[in-house]
Structure 1
């Protein structure tokens, strides 16, 4: 929506950083809660190890082409590492497992930072007010997705001693929170798009919001792997495609 032309290496970097962080978190989680040695975890989850290695190689290859963004990339790396602290196999860090709401908000903040602020720093445009509105709009969208995943993991998180928004708050209250976030997402998004003289962008905003609300409604019942990793995660791609189509 900012009409920023980004270098292909930045797209490549974000793609591989996503693969890298996801598989790193997954492997660290498998090690932290399985009670197995590193070698056994590596053998059992060799495919994740291979993908992680490929992702690291992709990062190393693309990074020299976007050196001007190293400071903000460093901030993104710190946010990612903060999210993994509760999984570290040291008792001193176990207090982070009681961080509660921070877990949910930190993940939404990390995704927002990577998909909004890093591209913005590549070619700054507009003013800080509109950047803040765009950042807030993306954050609200990502927060809805994070809450959907948190709700799925509630029982497992309780067993593991991990706190999140859905382990601390009753399901009925979480639903009210989702309604408030959805309303804020729409109320923030419409004037933002009108300000950028992009009234057509209101359509993908509403469609993305409605589809996300529908996905949340279906998530209230037990769903499988496909639902979460293709439909819920796919909402990020859906949002991007809808925005792109409306800009043609």
Structure 2
């Protein structure tokens, strides 16, 4: 029963959708954004449910015997239902955010670019040839949805602190995406999906990875000079320490619980500190 619940939480993308909510909360809190548009939390949750289930619905299981892909094979209809539920929920809350339709369209466009190469029809298959591919698209989606849009929706300005924080988030998420792409290297090649990671040599990929972690740490130190900096640095340190293990494991539970958890770890620690 516990395994079934864990599989549902991770593989239905409910877990990663909650991660997105926490990151939006942290952006609002660190940058002191007012007023907070609470409908955006709901919109982001349902949008994440929709986009991730759509992505995995399109992902074939022929290239891997991973628990996530096998779960997806057994629950194709559930993934489709969650895609539809997410789309309906996002549409409902979009009505209250329609004044920001242009800003939200940017998020929809980036999300589409991430999953579009998996659609088995031209011209979508052409997107598989784009060299920077999914690593950049996925990072851009996460940063835009959880960091940039909260600033735009609050009517706030991109202060120096906001820019430092956004750049910090970009590099820590990009580093984690590199690890995911390294794991998916062979399946991406078989599907014909190109990315910067499939193009780089392993030493080149590792240089890019460690430079990303270094930049993430550097900009974290520029965001502020208090306990929040400590929260921002913890995921970077843990990611670096776990690098060797991460490169040598293909466990879905590790990647979709631990690595996805590292994306929102600073926000989780920050939230616990505020609540406590």
Instruction: Give the alignment's TM-score, normalised by structure 2.
Output: 0.78
1:84-163 mapped onto 2 (5 Å cutoff): 84-163=115-194
SS of 2:249 mapped into structure 1 = coil
Cα distance, 1:91–1:177 mapped onto 2, change above 3 Å: same
The alpha carbon displacement at 1:96 in A equals 1.8
Counterpart for residue 233 of structure 1: 260
Determine the C-alpha separation between the residues in 2 that align with 1:229 and 1:156.
17
The alpha carbon displacement at 1:247 in A equals 5.4
Determine the C-alpha separation between the residues in 1 that align with 2:40 and 2:139.
20
Counterpart for residue 221 of structure 2: 190
Cα distance, 1:85–1:32 mapped onto 2, change above 3 Å: farther
Determine the C-alpha separation between the residues in 2 that align with 1:42 and 1:224.
18
Determine the C-alpha separation between the residues in 2 that align with 1:45 and 1:74.
28
Question: Which of 213, 223, 232 is 1:205 aligned to?
Answer: 232
SS of 2:58 mapped into structure 1 = helix
The alpha carbon displacement at 1:43 in A equals 8.4
Counterpart for residue 16 of structure 2: none
Question: Which of 22, 30, 33 is 1:4 aligned to?
Answer: 33
Determine the C-alpha separation between the residues in 2 that align with 1:223 and 1:92.
32
Question: Which of 62, 73, 81 is 1:50 aligned to?
Answer: 81
CA RMSD of aligned residues (A): 2.4
Q: Which runs of 5+ in 1 are unaligned?
A: 34-40
Determine the C-alpha separation between the residues in 1 that align with 2:87 and 2:116.
20
Determine the C-alpha separation between the residues in 2 that align with 1:224 and 1:50.
26
Counterpart for residue 20 of structure 1: 50
The alpha carbon displacement at 1:150 in A equals 0.3
Determine the C-alpha separation between the residues in 1 that align with 2:244 and 2:61.
33
Please give the per-residue CA displacement for 1:128-186, whole angstroms capped at 9, x wherever unaligned: 43332222111111101211110110010111111123211122222222111111111
Contact 1:42 1:49 in 2 (8 A): no
Please give the per-residue CA displacement for 1:74-94, whole angstroms capped at 9, x wherever unaligned: 111011112223223223333
Question: Which of 33, 54, 59 is 1:29 aligned to?
Answer: 59
Determine the C-alpha separation between the residues in 1 that align with 2:149 and 2:80.
27
Cα distance, 1:153–1:176 mapped onto 2, change above 3 Å: same
SS of 1:222 mapped into structure 2 = coil
Counterpart for residue 18 of structure 2: none
Counterpart for residue 77 of structure 1: 108
SS of 1:125 mapped into structure 2 = coil
Instruction: Give the alignment's TM-score, normalised by structure 1.
Output: 0.86
SS of 1:233 mapped into structure 2 = helix
SS of 1:100 mapped into structure 2 = coil
Please give the per-residue CA displacement for 1:79-126, whole angstroms capped at 9, x wherever unaligned: 111222322322333332121223211210111000011111121435
